[in-house]
Structure 1
Amino acid sequence: MSAALALLASSWFFVAALLAVMSDAFIPLVPSGTLVIAATLHASETHTSPLLLGVGVAIASFSGDLLLLKFARRGANWAQRRLERKPGAASAAASVLEALETKRARTIVTARFVPGGRTVLDLAVGTTSTPPRRFLRWSAVSASVWATYIVGLGFLNEHTFNTTWLSFAVSCVAATAISAVIARVVQRQRRLARKNAAAAVEPVVVG
């Protein structure tokens, strides 16, 4: 009986982590990465395959993108209002759409690692009339990359440190630091792009 209850509790823990990954496309504040790291460490204790967990995380991540994209395409006005509701989100969406024209793969994969970037990307694409096939293809790739990264981070630290709490703490700190660095690089590139665009339209005064 106790073994069955333990198995049920483990199953619900993994389900909660996957639901968090799916829902953070809609609500970026959901700590999906933290829950996946915890699930990875829990998988080791319950002898659950981390590969299977990674596949589940990738599917949940892609499913969240697909659902939000469908909502945004069916309610473009709602998506536009949501972007305009948050300071900087509308300009970020414009930058994302511009970057998708020339750097589609890098933009979609990078957005997965930036806090809130996945939401802005899905909403921005949803407000355009462009067919989403190419976006969804790279969305699936980015979901797989992120799942491999976040599960691999927990798995690596679990085998590096002797205690679960230390593995969890180091994994979360590392994931937060990596996301912060990527977000800073993206913001710097956006500022540089705006500066170059402003310089390009600045009138030349002939003396």
Structure 2
Amino acid sequence: MLDVVMEYARDVMDSPIVYLVIFAVAMGDAIIPMVPSDAVVVTAGVFAASGKPNILLVMVAALLGAIAGDHVSYWIGRAGGGRFARRKGGKTDRIRHLIEERGGLVLFVARYIPGGRTVTTLTMGALRYPQPKFTAFDCLASAVWAVQWALVGYFGGHAFEDDPVKALLLGFGIAAAVTVIAELVRRIRNHTKKTQHA
């Protein structure tokens, strides 16, 4: 059964459609956080180690999809977030201050927190974060993300050339570990802040 799945996966990876799939999944992940964009890019990277798909095109498709999805989410927030943007006091002011002071960093970190990318891009749009700055930071964050996960898969594919299943498991394990660590760091920081204010 596993051999059949791997053979099907190889057929998909040999097709030029794979780049469109990578683009669509990377874009969709910004709007529907359950879409597994990291896993798709890692998988494409694993297969790229054997020659197909092309690793550079995998990176480009992931990069462009991520940028497109983030901008759709940003504009949804901008179009529908007027009431949120007008709110004053409490959490809204803290969020506004954080995004004004560290918008680029927030955008980077949010990519590694489940659902964080969607919440952050919607919020930045709703708070009218300047679009040129958003685009500049987003292009940089998306490039780091796309190259990172494609190379995790690619080097895993080379390390386990005779056993691509192990390469996929390694790539998924690294992706999961990065996500869990980012979430733990976020929770620890939130707990520390609450303790300090108590």
Category of TM-score, reference length = shorter chain: 0.7 to 0.9
Determine the structure 2 residue equivalent to 1:51: 56
Change (3 A) 1:175 1:95: farther
Unaligned runs of 5+ in 2: 1-10, 85-90
Aligned counterpart for 2:81 among listed residues 65, 76, 86:
76
Q: How many residues align?
A: 181
Indicate if the aligned counterparts of 1:25 and 1:68 stay in contact, CA closer than 8 A: yes
Aligned counterpart for 1:66 among listed residues 68, 71, 76:
71
Determine the structure 1 residue equivalent to 2:174: 174
CA RMSD of aligned residues (A): 2.4
Determine the structure 1 residue equivalent to 2:144: 145
Deviation at 1:46? 4.6
Please tell me whether residue 101 in structure 1 is matched to residue 104 in structure 2: no
Q: Distance in 1 between matches of 2:111 and 2:95?
A: 12
Unaligned runs of 5+ in 1: 1-5, 81-90, 200-207
Q: Distance in 1 between matches of 2:44 and 2:129?
A: 37
Indicate if the aligned counterparts of 1:21 and 1:57 stay in contact, CA closer than 8 A: yes
Q: Distance in 1 between matches of 2:106 and 2:95?
A: 7
Q: Distance in 1 between matches of 2:129 and 2:42?
A: 35
Q: Distance in 1 between matches of 2:37 and 2:49?
A: 19
- Structure 2-normalised TM-score? 0.81
Superposition misfits of 4+ residues, deviation over 6 angstroms: none
Deviation at 1:105? 2.7
Higher RCO (C-alpha under 8 Å, 6+ residues apart): 2
After superposition, give the CA deviation of every residue in 1:46-81 in whole Å (9 maximum; x if it has no partner): 533212211221111011001111122112269x6x
- Greater gyration radius: 1
Change (3 A) 1:124 1:94: farther
Q: Distance in 1 between matches of 2:48 and 2:22?
A: 12
